[in-house]
């Protein structure tokens, strides 16, 4: 999975995977955001959670792998705007 690109859709708990053939992101129906939680403290904005990524091993084998993540930003005003539509 090294070198693969993903976008996480926090609003709909969706994972988007980059397709190197079309150079576009598409919704990965086999991967999803399991949970996430946001925290703010002074000028720090943090998002923690877990996501499950589908890893295609071969044509007949694929596995879901769960990852934990922690994103920390030092300017909560700018980053909070990313979650608004």
pLDDT at 49: 93
Q: Is residue 83 part of a domain?
A: no
Strands annotated E in the chain: 6-9, 14-19, 24-41, 44-58, 61-73
What domain count does the chain have? 1
Give, as one character, the DSSP assignment of residue 74: S
Residue 56 belongs to domain spanning: 1-75
pLDDT at 85: 44
Q: Is residue 26 part of a domain?
A: yes
Hey, which residues does 65 pair with through a beta bridge? Answer: 53
pTM of the model: 0.70
Model confidence band, residue 3 (pLDDT cutoffs 50, 70, 90) = low
Give the tens place of pLDDT for each residue, 29-81: 999 999 999 988 878 888 999 999 888 777 777 788 899 989 888 865 555 55
Q: Is residue 48 part of a domain?
A: yes
Q: Is residue 33 part of a domain?
A: yes
H-assigned helices in the chain: 76-80
Q: Is residue 17 part of a domain?
A: yes
């Amino acid at each position: 999975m090294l070198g693969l690109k993903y976008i996480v859709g926090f609003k709909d708990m969706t994972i988007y995977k980059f397709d190197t053939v079309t150079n576009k992101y598409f919704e990965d129906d086999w991967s999803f955001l399991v949970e996430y939680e946001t925290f703010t403290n002074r000028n720090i904005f943090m998002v923690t959670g877990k996501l499950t990524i589908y890893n295609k091993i071969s044509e007949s084998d694929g596995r879901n792998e769960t990852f934990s993540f922690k994103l920390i930003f030092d300017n909560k005003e700018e980053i909070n705007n990313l979650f608004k539509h």
